Amino acid sequence: MEQFPIIKIVDEEGNVALSEYREKLTKELVMMMYYHLIRTRTFDRKCVSLQRQGRIGTYAPYEGQEASQVGSALALANDDWLFPTYRDHGATMTFGHSLVRILLYWKGRNEGCVPPEGKKIFPPSVPIATQLPHAAGAAYAEKRKGTKNAVIVYFGDGATSEGDFHEGLNIASVFHVPVVFFNQNNQYAISVPIARQMKSKTIAQKALAYDIPGVRVDGNDIFAVYFETKKALDRARNGEGPTLIEAVTWRYGAHTTADDPTKYRDQEESKRRRECDPILRVERFLQKAGWWDEQQISAMQEKVHSEIEQAVAEMEQFPEANPTDMFDFVFAAPTWTIEQQKQMYTTWREQA
C-alpha cells in the first residue's frame, strides 16, 4: 500500500493538494475539463432515461467514473489508439467518438461499432479483459512503424482476474511497447467486491510482477488522472514502455440497467460517495479560484444539452437496420455458404 499511495492533485474540498501543480491548473484547462465532465454526465443520464423509455436497449452507466474517463482521454493525442469496454463511452466521446454512434450501439446496431474516420477507437470489448492483448499488439505495431503514437486500454477491477489481463501486461512488458493499461477500480465486478476478487491490496502493485511502473491515482480527481496518464503516455512515446494505472473510483448506479444493485451493495455507500463526486470537486475548485462564472457555465450546459438532443434525434431518424448487412460483412468476399444462405433467405422474405 505504502509503495502505491493514491495520488491526489486536488482534494475533495477543491484545494490543491500538490502545490507543484498549481501553475499548471490554468483556467482554460480547468474549464475545458469541466465542460467534458458535464457533457459525459449529461449524456450518461440521458442514456439511462432513454433505456427506461425503451428507446435504447440495456445500457451500462458510468456515473461517478467521469473524472477517470475524461481525464485519461483528454491526455491522449489525436493519433493514439483507444481500446474501450462497454462502460467507457465517456472516454470515447471525449476522444472524439460520435454520440450518434454510441447511441446506435446501445440500440443494438452494428453501426455503433464504427468510429469516425481516422479515429482509432476500437469497438467496446464485451468479454472481460480480452482487449488488453489487442492493445499490446497495436502498440507493438506503432513501435515497429516508428511512430510516436501510443495506445490506451480501459478495463475494470474484475478484469484483473482474467488470464488476458496478465497475458496482455506480460507481452507488453516483454516487448516494451507504448501502451497505457488504464484500470478503473470502481470496486465491484457486478456483485463481487474487490476484496473477493483478489487478495492483493492494490491493482497498481500487479505492475511489479511485469517490471513496469504501477501508479495509483484518485480516480475522482480529474487532475491527478489527467497528469498521471499524460506522464505515462509520454513515457510510452519516448520508448520507455508500458505503464499500469489504477484509478480508484466508484460507480453510483447499477452494473447495467438490467441489474439490481440493492441485492449486493449498500446503497447508503453510494450516497456517501457523492460527497467526493468528481464534478463537485471541480466546481469547488473553480469557486475557490474565483473562476466560477454562472453565465459561462449555463451557456456550457445549454450547448451540451442541445448537442445531446440533436444526437438522440439523429439516432432515432437513422435509416432502418439492413438485414443483409449480417451476410455482407463477415468476409471481404462472401463464401458460397453465406451467399447461398443470403440468397435463399432474401428470396424467402420477398415471397413471405
Partner 1 sequence: MTTTVKTNTLTLVRAVTDALRTMLREREDVLVLGEDVGKNGGVFRATDGLQAEFGEDRVIDTPLSEAGFTGAAIGMAVNGLRPVVEIQFLGFIYPAYEQIMTHAARIRSRTLGRFTVPMVIRAPYGAGVRAPEIHSDSTEALFTHMPGMKVVCPSTPYDAKGLLIAAIEDPDPVLFLEPMRCYRSFREEVPEGKYTIEIGKGKRIREGEDVTVIAWGAMVPIAMKAAEEAAKKGIAADVIDLRTLYPLDRELIVESVQKTGRTVIVQEAHATGGVANDLIALINDECFLYQKAPVERVTGFDVPVPFFSLEDYYLPTPERVLHAMEKAVTF
Ligand X SMILES: Cc1ncc(C[n+]2csc(CCOP(=O)(O)OP(=O)(O)O)c2C)c(N)n1
The residues binding partner 1 (CB under 8 A) are 57-58, 86, 107-110, 112, 126-128, 158-159, 161-164, 189-192, 196-198, 258-259, 263-264, 321, 323, 325-327, 330, 335, 337-338, 341-342, 345, 348, 352
Minimum distance, C-beta of residue 273 to partner 1, in the bound complex (Å)? 20
Question: Which of 109, 255, 281, 284 is an active site residue?
Answer: 255
- Which residue, 65 or 173, has its beta carbon nearer to ligand X? 65
Looking only at the bridges linking them, the beta strands covering 192-193 and 188-189 are antiparallel
Give yes or no for residue 186 binding ligand X (CB under 6 A): yes
CA distance 38 to 48: 15
Give yes or no for residue 190 binding ligand X (CB under 6 A): yes
Quote the cell numbers at residue 160. Answer: 484483473
Residue 176 designated active-site? no
Is residue 306 within a helix (H) or strand (E), and if so which, with residue range?
A: helix 294-317
Of these partners, ligand X, partner 1, none, which one is at the site of residue 87 (CB under 5 to 8 Å by kind)? ligand X
For residues 344, 345, 349, 351, the Cα torsion angle rounded to the nearest 10 degrees is: 10
- Which residue, 44 or 164, has its beta carbon nearer to partner 1? 164
334 neighbors 342 (Cβ within 8 angstroms): yes
Minimum distance, C-beta of residue 331 to partner 1, in the bound complex (Å)? 10
39 neighbors 304 (Cβ within 8 angstroms): yes
Is residue 173 within a helix (H) or strand (E), and if so which, with residue range?
A: helix 163-175
> Can you spell out the DSSP letters for 210-238?
GTS-EEEEETT-HHHHHHHHHHHHHHHHT
Of these partners, partner 1, ligand X, none, which one is at the site of residue 228 (CB under 5 to 8 Å by kind)? none
x-or-dash string of contact with ligand X, 129-168, rule CB under 6 A:
---------------------------xxxx---------
Q: How many CB atoms are located within 10 Å of the residue 65 CB?
A: 27
Question: Which of 264, 272, 274, 349 is an active site residue?
Answer: 264
- Which residue, 5 or 127, has its beta carbon nearer to partner 1? 127
CA distance 294 to 39: 17
| Site residues for ligand X per CB under 6 A | 87, 126-128, 156-159, 186, 188-190, 255
Q: Which residues are catalytic?
A: 251, 255, 264
